[in-house]
Amino acid sequence: MSRFAQACLVAGLIAAGAAHAQEPAVADDPYQWLEDVTGDKALDWVRAQNAKTDAALASTPAFKAMEAGIREVLDSDAKIPGVQKIGDWYYNFWKDRNHERGIWRRTTLEEYRKPNPAWETIIDLDALNKAEGENWVWHGADCLRPDYTRCLVALSRGGADANVTREFDLAGKSWVEGGFFRPEAKGGLQWIDRDTVYVYTDFGPGTMTESGYPRVAKRWKRGTPLESAKVVYEGKPDDMYIAAYHDDTPGFARDFVSRTLAFYNDELYLIGAGDKLAKVDAPNSANKGVKREWLTLELREPWTVGGRTYAAGSLLAAKFDDFMAGKREFDVLFEPTDSTSLASFAWTRNHLVLNVLDDVKNRLSVLTPTAQGWKRSEFTGAPTFGTLGVSAVDNDESDAVWLTATDYLTPTTLSLAQIGQQPEQLKAMPSFFDGSDDVIEQHFATSKDGTRVPYFLVRPKGLKFDGANPTLLYGYGGFEIALTPGYSGGLGRSWIDRGGVYAVANIRGGGEYGPRWHQAALKGNRHKAYEDFAAVAQDLIARGITSPQHLGVQGGSNGGLLTGNMLTQYPELLGAVVVQVPLLDMKRYNKLLAGASWMAEYGNPDTADWEFIQGFSPYHLFDPARDYPPVIFTTSTRDDRVHPGHARKMAAKMIEAGKDVTYYENIEGGHGGAANNAQAAHMSALAYSFLWERLSKK
């Protein structure tokens, strides 16, 4: 998948859209009426369940104290304001108690260095919502180089993935009357120049893919109707996502079409004169990046080219113009080992910073292109602990990078580093809980097929290994996403401070060991992710850290599918289960919202794939005659990525069977589950309260 498409789809910044029309109920699914997202009958059921849940969990002083503690963390003015350099200014989007929907603001680097910078507000979303009678949620801004006075601002109603794009004048701090405007839909706008944009969106019937994403990309001139925009590329209905974008790097301006067929399966085209397309002829499975004179390829499969075979997980570099001319000469910038994978890389003006995971621990190095080839050196002053993140301040003008460091017990720090110099720490998140009596460990469990599976453990130093400790095990295991240590004040206050043990499993399906770790749990091998997670649970029990009645699991989205499978396949291991914004009905997932876009991960249930998919479809694995641990399902009505019908139907099915089920659905929130800090605090407190109540009982 191209860097551009990956940003669009994995991060989900411009995705999904309106719910598919409800299909007629089928005889073997009496709960299908709950797929009617905003139907009166379905929402009446949701509100009744919400009332029961709030009455059972949210009415106690202990709950209110926990919720207030989480809200205090989310609203804290002492959090690190991450910034993006746009022109001479440093921009930040900020939410706190006084700005529930947030403000987009800016400052100078000189001010940013100060403990309490002076900020200039550019857009106040709360004020905008009040003026327009809307419930806008921020989805980002793209500002036009070189003067950066015009921006394309994306706003979502209620936190849904679908959004609108509006043109904003930074100089006048006002919306541009008659400016570029994209109506609410999946997709986006990308600047070409001041009077031209690329637009990929819902243009009407037949212009969206079966996954519900844009199928057509056009070039649109200012002052002309959207309908008259010129088609640049039209994909096929079963493609996943079509987009076009302009690379405005000075001296290397280029235009591209990105055709995503599925996750980690894409084609990239250079747009030439007369809109003639030239394919970047690299494997569809490779992540393709173009920066200045360089083409980079992150291989997800072995590739034999130019008389040499390059290993999956490698990072290759070649001169872009030479590659397009037919040359196939590459420098290998990274090659994985049994314990290492490439987490990320960041360009600066003159260097490339590699961020490598070695047994899920970050290691940084610097590569510099020279006339004699690429020179490798250490990253000066790199922290030796925790999760490290590196991003360029301005990769076209300087060799400065932002450097973050964090772990489960150490608040995040932000440093400004010039390549080759000691980093300068600018910011540090405050300690929201006392972790001095706790310790972080890494262990390895052995899965059913003998695979060594790492996991992190946060526990009190004085822990009694008597199996009686309330323990929360978290996981994801999908889409090549790696789970690395990070600081959470809400988790710390709500769980660790109370003496709870916290574990994070680095199971297959994730990206902890690169493409091979992800591919090991695709489609018919999906069960291996769940076997890995069960192995970690069993290891926690075998070590005497906890026992089934004191062990809970939590996961969201693909992680909700994970915990749904733990609920239905391994109930004897667990005392409580949290299932958040989940996929659960794997027979119909590809017909609900963006579900069709995930068939490369799970398979197509309308084909023979159903033979293996039904083996990890919790909705179909549920057996009314079987005993299950208590479970809480949470989702959002406005989640237009994973359909709320998954959680609704599973909960209704289990409730009717008399199981211990708690359900809560936020009416706003999108796939993140909450549209503001108050909602986020409430949702988190529900999960932690549920877990503590169930798992702390003797």
Q: How large is the average pLDDT for residues 69-94?
A: 94
Which amino acid does the sequence have at 242? I
Is there a catalytic annotation at residue 671?
yes
Cα 222 from Cα 226, distance rounded (Å)? 9
Note the pLDDT of residue 668: 57
Cα 573 from Cα 537, distance rounded (Å)? 7
The pLDDT confidence band at residue 10, using thresholds 50, 70 and 90, is very low
Q: Is 12's pLDDT higher than 90? A: no
Place domain 1-24+80-279 in its CATH homologous superfamily.
Prolyl oligopeptidase, N-terminal domain (2.130.10.120)
Is there a catalytic annotation at residue 550?
no
The pLDDT confidence band at residue 593, using thresholds 50, 70 and 90, is confident
Residues paired with 267 in a beta bridge: 259
Per-residue model confidence as pLDDT tens digits over 226-252: 999 999 999 999 999 999 999 999 999
Set 99, 550, 671, 682: catalytic member: 671
Per-residue model confidence as pLDDT tens digits over 548-588: 999 999 999 999 999 999 999 999 999 999 999 999 999 99
Q: How large is the average pLDDT for residues 340-353?
A: 98
The more confidently predicted of residues 649 and 15 is 649
Say how many CA atoms lie within 13 Å of 383 toward its Cβ: 23
Set 314, 415, 488, 557: catalytic member: 557
Best CATH choice for the domain 31-71+432-695 from the list 3.40.50.1820, 3.40.50.150, 3.40.190.10, 3.40.50.720: 3.40.50.1820
Q: How large is the average pLDDT for residues 184-194?
A: 97
Give pTM, 2 decimals. Answer: 0.90
Per-residue tokens: 259: 């055709």
Per-residue model confidence as pLDDT tens digits over 353-371: 999 999 999 999 999 999 9
Which amino acid does the sequence have at 204? G
Q: Is 592's pLDDT higher than 70? A: yes
Q: How large is the average pLDDT for residues 5-28?
A: 40
The pLDDT confidence band at residue 94, using thresholds 50, 70 and 90, is very high
Percentage of the chain with pLDDT > 90? 89
Residue ranges per structural domain of the chain: 1-24+80-279, 31-71+432-695, 337-429
Q: Is 9's pLDDT higher than 90? A: no
The pLDDT confidence band at residue 127, using thresholds 50, 70 and 90, is very high
Per-residue tokens: 59: 């009415």
Q: What is the DSSP letter of 492?
A: I
Note the pLDDT of residue 674: 55
- With H, G, I as helix, E, B as strand and everything else as coil, classify residue 296: strand
- With H, G, I as helix, E, B as strand and everything else as coil, classify residue 604: coil
Note the pLDDT of residue 672: 54
Per-residue model confidence as pLDDT tens digits over 615-652: 999 999 999 999 999 999 999 998 778 899 999 999 99
Instruction: Collect all residues with Cβ–Cβ distance below 8 Å to 647 and sequence separation of at least 6.
Output: 560, 579, 581, 582, 584, 633, 634, 635, 663, 665
